[in-house]
């Protein structure tokens, strides 16, 4: 079945450092890929998405590129802020089978001033 | 739009009690889901619905019931609460299954403690 694997956290960075959170997936067909973010005490919200190979999703400095050859969708940001501290979830929704999205376990990011 | 709303925000139950977690959305979304979030476990799907009158089980349905009598509402019922059901519960909805409609919208969550 479909699965998503994220790097374990917490990831601890200083403000203005570069961020990479690794995400790889296993799926049949041609899934759509997502990154969701959960700020403390809140529900998840969409950060970015990509629907086909080589697409790049981006939002407010965050980027992720859909790499079909490596089955990856790593999240990157060039300069993190304290306000980016949150839990980040990678997810996929397989268009070739179930419409139920599959989530990774989440990666906690802590950014220090 | 209010989006996805959940009530209550916090709840403490005693073992064996029953209760209903409420979820409503005002976006006319067909698809709705309930997840629980536990430390180190990520999100686990409890039940989901693809439209009014249609529900199905997810990964961890035991001890929970759902119904979908309207498009807007998707309540989750705990039949006889157990300490293992202590968790944060999220309701989510989305419009459809195509690339432009499959973004999930989440509620703020209900934090449940079972003593």
CB contact set of A19 (below 8 Å; sequence gap of 6+): A11, A13, A75, A76, A77, A80, A84, A109
Inter-chain residue contact A46 with B104, CB threshold 8 Å: yes
Burial environment of residue A31 by CB neighbours within 10 A (0 to 12, 13 to 18, 19 or more): buried
Q: Report pLDDT digits (tens) over A31-63.
A: 899 999 999 989 999 999 999 999 999 999 999
Mean pLDDT of chain B: 93
In this structure, are residues B91 and B37 in contact, taking their beta carbons and an 8 Å threshold? Answer: no
Query: In tens digits, what is the pLDDT along chain B, a chain of 115 residues?
Result: 789 999 999 999 999 999 999 999 999 999 999 999 998 888 999 999 999 999 999 999 999 999 999 999 999 999 999 999 999 999 999 987 666 677 889 999 999 999 9
Task: Give which of A33, A100, A104, A105 to mutate to test B binding, by max B Cβ within 10 Å.
Answer: A100
Burial environment of residue B1 by CB neighbours within 10 A (0 to 12, 13 to 18, 19 or more): exposed
Task: For chain A, positions 40-69, list CB contacts with chain B under 8 A.
Answer: 41-46, 49, 51
In this structure, are residues B11 and B19 in contact, taking their beta carbons and an 8 Å threshold? Answer: yes
Q: Report pLDDT digits (tens) over A66-101.
A: 999 999 999 999 999 999 999 999 999 876 545 778
Query: Which residue in the set A32, A100, A106 is minimally distant from B99, CB to CB?
Result: A32
């Amino acid at each position: 079945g479909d699965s998503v694997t994220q790097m374990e956290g917490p990831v601890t960075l200083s403000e203005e450092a570069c961020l990479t959170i690794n995400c790889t997936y296993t799926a049949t067909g041609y899934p759509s890929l997502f990154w969701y973010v959960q700020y403390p005490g809140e529900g998840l919200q969409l950060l970015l998405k990509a629907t086909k190979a080589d697409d790049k999703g981006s939002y407010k400095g965050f980027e992720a590129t859909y790499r079909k050859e490596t089955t990856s969708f790593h999240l990157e940001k060039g300069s993190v802020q304290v306000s980016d501290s949150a839990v980040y979830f990678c997810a996929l929704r397989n268009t070739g089978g179930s419409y139920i999205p599959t989530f990774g376990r989440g990666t906690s990011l802590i950014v220090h001033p | 739009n209010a989006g996805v709303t959940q009530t209550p925000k916090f709840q403490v139950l005693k073992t064996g009690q029953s209760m209903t977690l409420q979820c409503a959305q005002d976006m006319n979304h067909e698809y709705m889901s309930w997840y629980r979030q536990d430390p180190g476990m990520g999100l686990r799907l409890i039940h989901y619905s693809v439209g009014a009158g249609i529900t199905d089980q997810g990964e961890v349905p035991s001890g929970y019931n759902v119904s979908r009598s309207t498009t807007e509402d998707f309540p989750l019922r705990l039949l006889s609460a157990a300490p293992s059901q202590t968790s944060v519960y999220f309701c989510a909805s989305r419009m459809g299954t195509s690339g432009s409609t499959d973004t999930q919208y989440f509620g703020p969550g209900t934090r449940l403690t079972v003593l």
